[in-house]
Structure 1
Amino acid sequence: MLYITSGSLLPVFCVVEHKESPLERERREEHAEFVLIKRDLLFNQLIEMALLTLGYSHSSAAQAKGSIQVGKWNPVPLSCVTDAPDATVADMLQDVHHVITLKIQLHSCPKLEDLPPEQWSHSTVRNALKELLKDMNQSTLAKECPLSQVRPPPHTHTHTHTHTINFRKT
C-alpha cells in the first residue's frame, strides 16, 4: 500500500453517507474513496473541501456533518477533535491519516445537481422530483415548466382516455 506523506497533499479516506430523512436511523453508503487534501488547509474546512473534491456542490458541503473514525473505534465528531481555529489538516492528521476514515453525513434529500452524475439513480431522481413537487405550488411550476398541456406519447395509450395537465400562468 502506498501512502503519500511528503509534499503538500495528504490522502484522506472519505465515506459519504446519506440519510433520506432526519428520522431515518439506517444510513446507506453513497461514496467511498481517497481524496488528496492540502496539508495547510484549515482543519475546520476539511469536510467542505473533501466534498467539493468528490464532486458535491457547495450547498451540500455547507450542510454536511463529519466525524473521524480511527480504526474500529467509534467515530468522533470533528468539532470535538480540536478547539484550535488555526489547526491545519497536517497538524491534526499527519500521524494518523493512514488509519482514519473521514465520515461525512448528508442529512437532507440530495438535489440532482448536488450529486456527481455517476451517482444518479431512479430513486434519487424520484426523490428529487417529490421534493420539487412538495416545495412548489402550481403557479411556480408553471413558471419553471411553461407547458400548456402534457400528454403521453400516442404509442403509450392503452386506454381511450387521454390525461391532460393544464398549467395556468398567474
Structure 2
Amino acid sequence: MPREKGRSVIATNRKARHNFAILETFETGIVLQGTEVKALRQGKASLVDAFATVEDGEIWLHALHIAEYGQGSWTNHPVRRKRKLLLHRQEIDQLIGKMQDGNLTLVPLDMHFTDGYAKVELALARGKQAHDKRRDIAERTAKREVEREIGRRVKGM
C-alpha cells in the first residue's frame, strides 16, 4: 500500500490566533499510542484547551483531547494525557531561551498529517490583552470596508 502524500488537517485551534500574537511557528512530531493514531485518522481531536510546557529539556503537550477509538477495547488510550513533542535539540534550546526572555507561551495552532505522520504546528506566542483584540477587530473591519469600496468603484457603482 503506498504511503499517503500531502497534508490533511485533523484539528485547528481557532481561538489561538485571537487570544495570542503569534511570533514564530514550528512543525513538531508527536509521540502517540496505537489507538490514538486511529482516532486521529477519524478526525476525533480537539485543541481547545491545549498548551505546551518545557519539562527537563523536553516539550510536552497538555490537555489535548483525542477521543477514544470506537473499535478499541481495553487497549484504548487515556483521552487527556500529556504527550511528548518531537523537535531537534537546537530548536528546543532556542525555544527555552526565548521563553525565559519574556512573557511567552507555547500554543498548538493545528494538528495534521504530513505524508502519513501526525504533526502539531506549535507557536511561540504572547498573550493579547483586551485592547489589542479590539484593535485587531477594528483593523480587520476597516480593511474589509476598504476592499468593499474598491470593489464598488471597479464595478462603477
Give the TM bin, normalised by the shorter chain: under 0.3
Higher strand share: 2
Could you tell me the TM-score, scaled by structure 2's length?
Answer: 0.24
Could you tell me the TM-score, scaled by structure 1's length?
Answer: 0.23
Structure whose alpha-carbon radius of gyration is higher: 1
